[in-house]
Amino acid sequence: MSQFKTLYDKAISDQKFRAELVNNPSAALQSIGIHPTPQVLSSLGTALTAIEALGTELSPAMNVVTDIS
Amino acid sequence: MNFEQVAELAATRAIFEVSAAPSILAERTLLWLGTRFDIQRPANYFTHLQSLPLLALPWWLEESIRDCADAEFQAELMYATINFYYFTRILDDVMDGHEIEPAVLPAMHPFHLRFTRPYYRRFGLQSSFWEHFERLLMVTIETASAEVVLRKITSEQFLNISARKTAAAVIPMAAVCVHYDRLDLLESWENMFTAFGRWHQMRDDVRDWSADWQADSPTWLLSEAEQRHSSGESVPAWMGREGFLWAKSVMRSWMDETLGAASNLGSSQLVLYMRARDEEFCREIDRTIAMAEACNELLKAESLLEQV
């Protein structure tokens, strides 16, 4: 599997990794064996912006029911 | 008293009884409960919007029969349900191989006793309630056992096993029906709950797909992923390309079925609840699908680099 397929798999399945990818992309990429050259970081820019915009946590905090009485 | 107050009363009583007489069992059980629930506010776990409405369904059913709920009766039903839930969570921890201190396991006895006692107090041994009690409890017990041995889950097994594990939640609804001599209502409430149970189980499977996949814990969703992914495509890649969309479509039909059934039961609160669950899930799954699309951009980066 290519390193970028590994990157995709980790990003879609691992919330912690996704957060690290947004907050510290160099460290996140190195952790899966991708050397974070300026070219690599630049090519990932659009994707990281889109992920950051959606927030890294997918499930919203649970809300308490207040209207069922 | 309103629903929240009665739920708080019942949940606090259940926790209080665990600790009423200081002992090793009480100490260890409270420690275990503290790792699973907020024991300072024990009702919250059961009244979260995203929880199964185990305490609210019998309340709404009673309101549909007589316009208002009997707080004392409902408090007993809630107390029974909460104790059954604690019993079941210990059993689940053992069955799932989660770490649980052996000293906690004997607490299953008092939890089960407190689950059944309110029903014994209210219904004579000849009451028709007990037929439904046994029938519903056996569905939960048999399906919990059957699911453990499955390594792959088909749609039929999901419908008949995974989604039916919560059948015992209908027991307090059966109690309401028998108490008010309205057993004619039970089938329609049970059918609604069965439809909702499918949706709720699938939602859990969608929400936890990554943890389940990493733990090699089979679900219908992951079994479909294993079967449908293309050659060379990983399970996460299939989830991103197709899985979330497929789950959304399956769940749409189940929620429509649930809403249709709920709308005929004479409970506006039930319909409001289902709509709220539906809306929240739609937001959640749409965001997940958008995230998958954003992650897909990561793959495009590789081809950009190849062009450099």
B156 touches chain A (CB under 8 A): no
**Sign, Cα dihedral of A45, A49, A50, A51:** positive
How far, in Å, CA of B160 to CA of B151, rounded?
Answer: 15
Closest-CA distance of chain A to residue B49, Å = 5
Task: Let me know: does B51 contact B276? Beta carbons within 8 Å.
Answer: no
Amino acid B41 reads R
Q: Quote the crossing angle between the two packed helices B71-95 and B129-148, to the nearest 10°.
A: 20
Chain A interface residues (partner B, CB cutoff 8 A): 1-2, 4-5, 7-9, 11-15, 39-40, 43-44, 46-47, 50-51, 53-55, 58-60, 62-69
Contact: B236, A46; criterion CB under 8 Å: no
Nearby residues of A22 by Cβ (< 8 Å), 6 or more positions away: A48, A51, A52, A56
**Given pLDDT bands bounded at 50, 70 and 90, which one contains residue B302?**
confident
ipTM of the complex model: 0.77
- Window from A13-22, A50-59, B254-263 with minimum mean pLDDT: A50-59
Closest-CA distance of chain B to residue A29, Å = 11
How far, in Å, CA of B307 to CA of A45, rounded?
Answer: 16
**Residue extents of the structural domains in chain B:** 1-122
pTM: 0.90
How far, in Å, CA of B279 to CA of B158, rounded?
Answer: 24
Judging contacts by C-beta atoms under 8 Å, the chain A residues touching residue B239 are 12-13
Q: Considering chain B, what percentage of its residues have pLDDT values greater than 70?
A: 98
Give me the pLDDT at residue A57, please. Answer: 63
Q: Please check the confidence at residue A60 and state whether its pLDDT lies above 70.
A: no
Contact: B287, A11; criterion CB under 8 Å: no
Q: Which candidate from B240, B284, B305 shows the least CB-CB separation from A59?
A: B284
Give me the pLDDT at residue B227, please. Answer: 94
Contact: B301, A44; criterion CB under 8 Å: yes
Q: Write the pLDDT tens digit of every residue in B188-203.
A: 999 999 999 999 999 9
How far, in Å, CA of A39 to CA of B138, rounded?
Answer: 61
- A-B CB pairs within 8 A amount to 107
**Given pLDDT bands bounded at 50, 70 and 90, which one contains residue A64?**
very low
Closest-CA distance of chain B to residue A24, Å = 15
Judging contacts by C-beta atoms under 8 Å, the chain A residues touching residue B78 are none
Q: How far apart are the first and last CA of chain B?
A: 70
Judging contacts by C-beta atoms under 8 Å, the chain A residues touching residue B283 are 60
How far, in Å, CA of B197 to CA of B190, rounded?
Answer: 10
Task: Let me know: does B7 contact B78? Beta carbons within 8 Å.
Answer: yes
Judging contacts by C-beta atoms under 8 Å, the chain A residues touching residue B293 are 50
Task: Let me know: does B178 contact B123? Beta carbons within 8 Å.
Answer: yes
Closest-CA distance of chain B to residue A50, Å = 6
Judging contacts by C-beta atoms under 8 Å, the chain B residues touching residue A7 are 298
**Residue B263 burial by Cβ neighbours in a 10 Å radius (0-12, 13-18, 19+):** middle
Interface of B with A in 215-234 (CB under 8 A): 234
Judging contacts by C-beta atoms under 8 Å, the chain A residues touching residue B4 are 66, 69
Closest-CA distance of chain B to residue A9, Å = 5
Q: Write the pLDDT tens digit of every residue in B77-122.
A: 999 999 999 999 999 999 988 999 999 999 999 999 999 999 999 9
Question: What phi and psi values does residue B48 have, to the nearest 5 degrees?
Answer: -60, 145
Q: Please check the confidence at residue B22 and state whether its pLDDT lies above 90.
A: no
Give me the pLDDT at residue A4, please. Answer: 85
Q: Write the pLDDT tens digit of every residue in B228-283.
A: 999 888 999 999 999 999 999 999 999 999 999 999 999 999 999 999 999 999 99
**Sign, Cα dihedral of B47, B52, B54, B57:** positive
Closest-CA distance of chain B to residue A17, Å = 12
Task: Let me know: does B229 contact B237? Beta carbons within 8 Å.
Answer: yes
Residue B31, both tokens: 């420690």
Interface of B with A in 59-98 (CB under 8 A): 59-60
How far, in Å, CA of A49 to CA of B297, rounded?
Answer: 10
Nearby residues of B156 by Cβ (< 8 Å), 6 or more positions away: none
Judging contacts by C-beta atoms under 8 Å, the chain A residues touching residue B301 are 4, 40, 43-44, 47
Residue B94: strand, helix, or coil: helix
